[in-house]
Amino acid sequence: MNGWLLLLFTVILAAIIGFITNVIAVSMLFRPRKPIYVGAWKLPLTPGLIPKRHEEIAQHLGRIVMEHLLTVEGVQGRLTEQRFQNEVKEWVKEGVKKWMGREERSVQDIIGEYGPWSSPDRKVKERVAADVARRVDAYWEQMQNETLEQMLPADVVRKGSDMIPSVSHWIIQRLSVYLHSREGKEQIQSIVQTFVRSRGSLVQFLDSFVRTDKVVERVYPEVIDVLTSREIEQWLEKKLHEEYQKALRKDGTDIFSEETIARYRQEVIRLLSDQVPVDRIFHTPVKEWAETFNVNLVDELVDTAVHQSGRFLETRIADILPSLRLDHIVTEQVRAFPLDRLEAIVVQISNRELRMIKYLGGLLGGVIGIVQGIMILLFF
């Protein structure tokens, strides 16, 4: 009986020792916070593991973040992910629309609060006018070196050529209608009379024997047949083709003069200024003109801005990430993080596992106690 009591005592003692040992081992991860000295001698294993390695942990986490977590490839993949872009677009659209709907200040006031710019509306007008003028001048410079055929799309040139037979036929038809009308007949008669009067007394003398109106009445049907004949229509079609080809070979300087281009430039600037109410946008509270603002235009602008920003970040992220020095930020944050708060987070996350480590120490101690007790009973 004494042997069984000895065995039970050995098991309990070893389990307690194992449990307490693991409790101490777990506690030494965070405690003591500072080194403990006995005189000039520092106790070993003080401070605890994490307080002692706090600086190294901070630096190591910083390197891990930059080398393995926030990599250029990973960030680029996230920026180009369609789902991410859609989420950003929806978030920005919602934010812009809410801001526009409640903003009491004008654009002029907003700009004045964030910078010393004066008369931004005037500068916008000047910038728009200069940009329009530059584009018109660039287009005009291109037109000077191109023919009309080169300026127009190929299908437009082809359709113009294909329409010439129809145009010539239409002209002949309209001429025939006019000549058969009373007005046309009177016009021809007037032309003949004018011709007779301009040819002197001899022709006028002959006209007294043969009346002009009688001549016109007799010859008029023949004139109509000649002017509306198929040969005249073919001749007209040929001439139209020739003039059309001449027009296509003209360059910009043959079509427009410098004065015409200058007038067009000013007209385009004026039309654009009328279409874009710069004064109203800059001097009226945002919420007032936002009510009539095209919502679809906001969506298009946001989509374009997000897309272009994503492309810019994607191409420059390799330069941006190192310049942000995120590893130093992580290092500083971890270094400044309170140890008691860090301990609370670790315990909160791993509380179950830490308890199991303590219990495992007691279990292993109990097993060792059984082995020791058996050995004592057998050999002593």
C-alpha to C-alpha distance for 276 and 163, rounded to whole angstroms: 39
* Statement: residue 94 has pLDDT above 80: yes
The confidence score (pLDDT) of residue 197 equals: 55
| Model pTM score | 0.42
* Statement: residue 194 has pLDDT above 70: no
Longest dimension (CA), the chain: 173
Distance from the Cα of residue 153 to its chain's centroid: 29
- Average pLDDT, integer, range 158-187: 85
Q: Which range in 71-80, 158-167, 344-353 is most confidently predicted, on average pLDDT?
A: 158-167
Q: What is the pLDDT of residues 45-66, one digit of tens each?
A: 777 777 777 778 778 877 887 7
C-alpha to C-alpha distance for 197 and 185, rounded to whole angstroms: 19
The confidence score (pLDDT) of residue 103 equals: 76
CA separation, residue 200 to residues 70, 188, 195, 326 (Å): 104, 20, 10, 106
Q: Which range in 55-69, 77-91, 178-192 is most confidently predicted, on average pLDDT?
A: 77-91
Q: Is 41 helix (H, G, I), strand (E, B) or coil?
A: strand
- Average pLDDT, integer, range 75-98: 82
- Average pLDDT, integer, range 26-39: 77
Full DSSP string of 80-91: H-HHHHHHHHHH
The C-alpha R_g of the chain, in whole angstroms, comes to 49
248: Cβ contacts below 8 Å, ≥ 6 apart: 147, 148, 149, 152, 157
Take residue 28 and report the two structure tokens written for it: 């030494």
Confidence of residue 192 (pLDDT cuts 50, 70, 90): low
Min mean pLDDT across 42-56, 190-204, 281-295, 332-346 is at: 190-204
* Statement: residue 203 has pLDDT above 50: no
Please tell me which residue, 191 or 18, carries the higher pLDDT value.
Answer: 18
* Statement: residue 91 has pLDDT above 80: yes
- Average pLDDT, integer, range 228-257: 83
Neighbours of 11 (CB within 10 A): 19
Identify which of 164, 144, 152, 359 has the alpha carbon closest to the alpha carbon of residue 244. 164
Neighbours of 62 (CB within 10 A): 21
Report the alpha-carbon angle 28-30-31, nearest 5. 60
CB 72 within 8 A of CB 317: yes
The confidence score (pLDDT) of residue 87 equals: 85
Distance from the Cα of residue 37 to its chain's centroid: 64
Domain boundaries along the sequence of the chain: 1-104+285-380, 147-250
**What mean pLDDT, rounded, does the chain reach?**
76
Q: What is the pLDDT of residues 278-288, one digit of tens each?
A: 777 777 777 77
Q: Which range in 91-95, 294-298, 324-328, 349-353 is most confidently predicted, on average pLDDT?
A: 91-95
Confidence of residue 270 (pLDDT cuts 50, 70, 90): confident
Confidence of residue 202 (pLDDT cuts 50, 70, 90): very low
* Statement: residue 209 has pLDDT above 60: no
